[in-house]
Chain A
């Protein structure tokens, strides 16, 4: 069963627009961890943010913000005032308690045009 679903395959925006990436997850655990990773064209996986299931407080970090809602099993990620360098594939991932592995979504390709 798919544990992490990223329904958006591709998003294209013009520079300075905001971009929101959707992520829906599925787990039976009460303790779990959610992540967003960025994969630029160079191919590496860059950690962006991590959230624990017991902390639903939403935060802003620079141009990044996230909206974690347990009631809808969603962990959405927003890039404010997008820049060309934000062009990448963004992956949402889930790690369940007592589990060692990340389950990744299929990724959303973000293209920011100048």
Chain B
């Protein structure tokens, strides 16, 4: 069964460092997403991406964050200068069309120290 894959599964980084989280969405999907879950809290929407541009972003997704689809398969989330409060599980997701089922990857756990 097709799945969303994410790397790394866990990353520890120093405050102020740049981090890139990588994702390979399901191959025939058109919509890509990043969500965040701070430990013990609910899952929060960060950004959606369609047709090579951001279609919607939340207030969490400030200038420190950026997304890119550098080739036909990868979808990346970059955090330019990490803060302690960026520590969270970051989920990549994809769907075939809006309203269709959104499938999530296994998550990348980011720890900022």
A interface residue numbers (CB < 8 A to B) = 31-33, 35, 37, 42-47, 50, 52, 91, 93, 95, 97-107
A50 CA to B100 CA, complexed, in Å = 9
Tell whether, in the assembled complex, residue A45 and residue B101 are in contact, meaning their CB atoms are under 8 Å apart: no
A102 CA to B100 CA, complexed, in Å = 11
Total contacts A to B, CB within 8 angstroms?
Answer: 61
Which size bracket describes the interface of B in this complex? 20 to 34
* B 74-109 contacts with A by CB, 8 A: 89, 91, 98-99, 101-107, 109
User: B107: which A residues are within 8 A, CB to CB?
Assistant: 43-45
User: A97: which B residues are within 8 A, CB to CB?
Assistant: 98-99
The residue of chain B having its C-beta at the shortest distance from the C-beta of A43 within the complex is B107
User: A43: which B residues are within 8 A, CB to CB?
Assistant: 89, 106-107, 109
Distance in Å from the Cβ of A91 to the closest Cβ of chain B? Answer: 6
Q: Does B43 contact A (CB under 8 A)?
A: yes
Tell whether, in the assembled complex, residue B43 and residue A91 are in contact, meaning their CB atoms are under 8 Å apart: yes
A31 CA to B99 CA, complexed, in Å = 9
Indicate with 1 or 0, residue by residue over B25-64, a CB within 8 angstroms of chain A CB atoms. Answer: 0000001010100000111110010100001101000000
* Minimum-distance CB pairs A-B, first 7: A100-B48, A45-B104, A101-B45, A44-B106, A104-B43, A33-B99, A106-B42
User: B35: which A residues are within 8 A, CB to CB?
Assistant: 102
Tell whether, in the assembled complex, residue B103 and residue A47 are in contact, meaning their CB atoms are under 8 Å apart: yes
Given contacts A43-B89, A43-B107, A44-B106, contact A103 B45 (CB under 8 A): yes
Tell whether, in the assembled complex, residue B98 and residue A50 are in contact, meaning their CB atoms are under 8 Å apart: no
Tell whether, in the assembled complex, residue A105 and residue B48 are in contact, meaning their CB atoms are under 8 Å apart: no
User: A102: which B residues are within 8 A, CB to CB?
Assistant: 35, 43, 45, 102
Tell whether, in the assembled complex, residue B44 and residue A98 are in contact, meaning their CB atoms are under 8 Å apart: no
Tell whether, in the assembled complex, residue A98 and residue B106 are in contact, meaning their CB atoms are under 8 Å apart: no
Tell whether, in the assembled complex, residue B98 and residue A45 are in contact, meaning their CB atoms are under 8 Å apart: no
A103 CA to B109 CA, complexed, in Å = 21
Taking a contact as CB atoms closer than 8 A, the residue among B33, B50, B102, B104 that contacts A44 in the complex is B104
A44 CA to B3 CA, complexed, in Å = 12
The residue of chain A having its C-beta at the shortest distance from the C-beta of B3 within the complex is A44
